[in-house]
Amino acid sequence: MNIEQWTIEKILNWTQVHFEKVRPDSPRLDAELLLAYVLDCPRLDLYLRADQPLNEKERGAYRELVQQRAAGCPIAYLTGEKDFWSLTLEVSKATLIPRPDTETLVETSVEKILEWQQTHPKATCNIAELGTGTAAIPLAFCAELQNLNIISVDCSAETLKVAARNLERYQNLLAPRNNSLKLVESDLFSAIKPAANLDFIISNPPYIPTETISTLQVDVCQYEPSIALDGGTDGLFFYKYLLKTGPSLLKRSGEMILEIGFDQQVELTELQDHFPEWTPATFLPDLQGNIRVCCLQLEC
């Protein structure tokens, strides 16, 4: 094909067909996201400018990204951004890419925090989050709620740098809404004092059994940081830790809300038998009907 003929429309069509063969999950969307990124325009503009030819520099940059995507690199790592809840978050190869699945955890938590706020009018709600990544979860809370005091920990300094830039990007959700969000580098909750008097513990911890990681699709196992995935030999390391440690950090009748793997309900229920400080867990499904959230409350 003559170089002048590589218009936006033609290059998108060509890439879609290419991705259908090698990365068939969302070929058109992937092509559009990459081209919009190269042209620095909203996706919709690709249709308004469909007949516009690409110059050599644009074609070169796009070709490079298409090759990386074809090799398996997730789109979010190529564009450096991912939409989550109502936010557009910076991501890097040091962070997990926030998943739509995690919006079930956000939705459940927002409802529970709102209920808590109704019984504690004007009080500040104290929350700790284990494994914040891009700060997707606490920022989504701040987009919906006010009067929150959140400490979010992560053991990865690189991840926390990305989280800090996301906080910077969404300053408008913090002080103006009387929300405080503090990022702390910490192995587990070691940096949080036992007398923390928390109302909620929230976490989407790593929960993939170590040996399963290499069987996940290439996008995940070769590109996402294993520290964000690896839940130990049985995938339950962080749940055991949280069930054991939670009671010393929470107020009486405090609550813990956790994302779990779609097949972990039975294991979590059995695990909970060893921790009688908690009332029986309730489990909630995502929009596909998979159980993805586990809610626990301390016995009064």
Ligand X SMILES: C[S@@+](CC[C@H](N)C(=O)[O-])C[C@H]1O[C@@H](n2cnc3c(N)ncnc32)[C@H](O)[C@@H]1O
Does residue 155 interact with ligand X by CB under 6 A?
A: yes
Q: Which of 187, 252, 288, 289 binds ligand X (CB under 6 A)?
A: 187
Which of the residues 261 through 290 are near ligand X (CB under 6 A)? none
Contacts of 191 (CB under 8 A, 6+ apart): 153, 184, 185
CA distance 138 to 44: 30
* Shortest distance in whole angstroms from residue 300 CB to ligand X: 29
Site for ligand X contains 138 (CB under 6 A): no
Calculate Rg over the CA atoms of the chain. Answer: 21
Per rule CB under 6 A, is residue 96 in the interface with ligand X? yes
> How far is the C-alpha of 19 from the C-alpha of 5, rounded, in Å?
20
Interface with ligand X, residue 159, by CB under 6 A: yes
Q: Between 102 and 126, whose beta carbon lies closer to ligand X? A: 102
Distance of CA 234 to the CA centre of its chain: 22
Residue 83 carries which side chain, given as an amino acid letter?
A: D
Query: With binding defined as CB under 6 A, does residue 154 bind ligand X?
Result: yes
Contact 62, 71 (CB under 8 A): no
Shortest distance, position 194 Cβ to ligand X, whole Å: 17
For residue 246, state whether it binds ligand X (rule: CB under 6 A).
no
Which of 75, 136, 192, 198 touches ligand X by CB under 6 A? 136
C-alpha span between 54 and 57 (Å, rounded) = 8
CB of 216 to ligand X, least distance (A): 13
Smallest separation (angstroms) from ligand X to the CB of 22: 27
Question: Of 122, 67, 110, which is closest to residue 86 (Cα–Cα)?
Answer: 110
Region near ligand X per CB under 6 A, out of 202-210, 214-222, 266-274, 284-292: 202-210
Of the candidate residues 35, 65, 128, 153, the single one contacting ligand X (CB under 6 A): 153
According to the binding rule CB under 6 A, does residue 51 interact with ligand X? no
Residue 102: CB minimum distance to ligand X, A: 4
Nearest to 264 by CA among 230, 290, 232: 290
Q: Which of 108, 204, 264, 272 contacts ligand X by CB under 6 A?
A: 204
Q: How many angstroms separate the first and last alpha carbons of the chain? A: 73
Q: Which is nearer to ligand X, 134 or 179 (CB)?
A: 134
Q: Does 205 bind ligand X (CB under 6 A)?
A: yes
Please say whether the beta carbons of 239 and 258 come within 8 A: yes
> For ligand X, which residue of 156, 166, 179, 264 counts as binding (CB under 6 A)?
156
Beta-carbon contacts of residue 298 (< 8 Å; ≥ 6 apart): 246, 247, 250, 252, 253, 254, 255, 277, 278, 279
Q: How far apart are CA 200 and CA 245, in angstroms?
A: 13
Q: Give the residue, chosen from 206, 209, 235, 254, that forms a contact with ligand X under the rule CB under 6 A.
A: 206
| 188 near ligand X, rule: CB under 6 A | yes
- The residues of the shown chain that bind ligand X, judged by CB under 6 A, are 96, 98, 102, 130-134, 136-137, 153-156, 159, 186-188, 204-206, 227-228
